[in-house]
Amino acid sequence: MVLGTLNVLSAISLLFIAAIGLAVIFGVMGVVNLAHGEFIMMGAYASYLVTKMGYPVALAFIAAPVTVGLFALLLEPIFFRHIYGKVMESILATWGLSIALRQVFLLAFGSGYKSVPYPTDAAVNLLGTTFSLYRMLIMALAVLVWAGIMLVEHRTNLGAVARAVMNNAPLASALGVNTNRVYAGTLVFGAALAGLAGAVMAPLTSAYPSMGLNFLTNSFFAVLVGGLGSLSGFVFASASLGASNEVVAILVDPVWGSVVLVVVALVLVRLRRTA
């Protein structure tokens, strides 16, 4: 029971961390970033390179978001700037970007899997159950990321400007807010969060070119259920989808878990529409 509860919490945290970058970019800019999975993949490769160069794997949790954030910053003027607010165009363009990124990494690193060690192999003892310390740290990180975004969104000037652009971009622009700069900032922030997700996932799975696709679907559902531009809605979506998936996976099996995730997502989206 204790182990089950911890596993459900860790599943929720993993889904939250995997999807938060997608939610930020979609929420503020209306860009459905289908290259989100590849951003995660790039974060995982950044972790691999950090450990391969002999640095401690903990450094990857800084290096991966910085690398992917910088990459998004470079792509902003030539790619993302042209698809802000265009949902359909952004789906097509970012899907193309994702294919290109997968192939570039396949050519650069080969098709093999790259190992990233765990920062810690220790286990903690909780109410008589031993549980992976790394998974406990992931839960803590998820809470930290949530709290961090909440603080930025509601307690800083930056957050206020971002919310203004999110609610009414033309009006914010008329009031002297440089919306393009807000968009660029949000893009980099969202990409950095995807890079962080890559660093989190890499020890669990290893890094390989096509790994991003495994994260894209569930992240996409979480964002759909969470709705546009609401952090609390997104937290609720991660929790309900992550929990229903994991509970069914434990009680029945993971195949049914993945089916239930989609069903719950459909029901929640439908309920939200009618409400």
Binding site for another protein (CB under 8 A): 3-4, 7, 10-11, 14, 106-115, 117-118, 121, 123, 130, 132, 134-135, 201, 203-206, 208, 210-211, 213-215, 246, 249-250, 253-255, 257-258
Closest CB 209 distance from another protein, rounded Å: 8
Q: How far is CA 129 from CA 6, 124, 141, in A?
A: 10, 8, 21
Residue placing its CB nearer to another protein in the complex, 207 or 224: 207
In the block, tokens 């790994």 appear at: 211
Residue (84 or 134) nearer to another protein, CB: 134
For residue 42 the two structure tokens come to 């790039």
Nearest to another protein of 115, 167 (CB atom)? 115
Q: What span, in angstroms and rounded, lies between the C-alpha atoms of 84 and 129?
A: 48
Among the listed residues 200, 159, 237, the one whose alpha carbon sits nearest the alpha carbon of residue 17? 200
The nearer residue to another protein, 185 or 212, going by C-beta atoms, is 212
The whole-angstrom separation of Cα 138 and Cα 17 is 9
Supply angle C-alpha 65, 184, 165, rounded to 5: 120
CA distance 95 to 165: 25
Q: How far is the CB of 116 from another protein (least distance, A)?
A: 8
- According to DSSP, residue 120 is labeled -
Q: Which is nearer to another protein, 37 or 190 (CB)?
A: 37
**Minimum separation from the CB atom of position 234 to another protein (A):** 19
Q: At what angle do helices 2-29 and 231-251 cross, to 10 degrees?
A: 140
Smallest separation, CB 5 to another protein (Å): 11
β-pair partners for 125: 130
CB of 57 to another protein, least distance (A): 11
Q: Which residues pair with 123 in a beta bridge?
A: 132
**Nearest partner of 197 among 92, 67, 84, judged by Cα:** 67
- State which residue, 11 or 29, has the beta carbon closest to another protein: 11
Q: How far apart are CA 267 and CA 191, in angstroms?
A: 29
Nearest approach, Cβ of residue 220 and another protein (Å): 14
Q: How far is the CB of 222 from another protein (least distance, A)?
A: 14
User: In this complex, which beta carbon is closest to another protein, that of residue 69 or of residue 203?
Assistant: 203
